[in-house]
């Protein structure tokens, strides 16, 4: 009986964190796709690391993350293209210390103005999510690998 109650408690805790992660990613990626560079960077820890396949070396810290998005967004705006980042098939592994190891499939959809959308990139994203003092999730570390690269 105790086991069953504990199981329900554990599974409820998992449901809470699973919904929270999905909601976090929805907002996080909407900020990115909207070009809200600073707000997006603030969803990383101050020392957050983003190891992106397009960058020669990891981007570290909110100032660098902000600058990277500002530049990318300006290029897309000049090109007249809207990108959307979707983190799907989310696998959440809660850790003993309260952090979350999260793996997801990332689709990047690109839509040119007056044109058809295309699946631009298919990637796997591996995040380490932690909580700030108020309990909010933040990305401490992100590593993205592209399916088109060996």
Q: Which residues bind a second copy (CB under 8 A)?
A: 7-8, 11-12, 14-16, 18-20, 22-23, 25-27, 29-30, 82, 84, 86-92, 103-105, 107, 109, 111-122, 135, 147-150
Quote the least distance from Cβ 147 to a second copy, whole Å: 4
Quote the least distance from Cβ 15 to a second copy, whole Å: 4
Output 30 or 60, the one with its CB closest to a second copy: 30
CA pair distance 41, 48, nearest whole angstrom: 9
Quote the least distance from Cβ 137 to a second copy, whole Å: 11
Query: Tokens at residue 131, please?
Result: 């909580």
Quote the least distance from Cβ 140 to a second copy, whole Å: 20
Output 55 or 88, the one with its CB closest to a second copy: 88
DSSP-derived letter for residue 98 is S
Q: What DSSP string describes 124-150?
A: EEEEEEEE-TTS-EEEEEEEEEETT--
Output 75 or 91, the one with its CB closest to a second copy: 91
């Amino acid at each position: 009986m105790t086991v069953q109650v504990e199981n329900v408690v554990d599974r409820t805790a998992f449901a809470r964190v699973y919904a929270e992660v999905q909601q976090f990613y929805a907002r996080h990626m909407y900020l990115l796709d909207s070009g809200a560079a600073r707000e997006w960077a603030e969803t990383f820890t101050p020392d957050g690391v983003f190891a992106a396949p397009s960058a020669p070396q990891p981007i570290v810290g909110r100032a660098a993350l902000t600058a990277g998005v500002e530049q990318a967004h300006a290029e897309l705006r000049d090109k007249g293209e809207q990108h959307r980042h979707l983190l799907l098939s989310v696998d959440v592994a809660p850790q003993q210390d309260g952090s979350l190891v999260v793996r997801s499939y990332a689709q990047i959809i690109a839509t040119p103005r007056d044109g058809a959308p295309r699946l631009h990139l298919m990637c796997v994203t591996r995040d380490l999510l932690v909580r700030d003092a108020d309990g909010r999730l933040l990305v401490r570390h992100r590593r993205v690998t592209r399916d088109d690269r060996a």
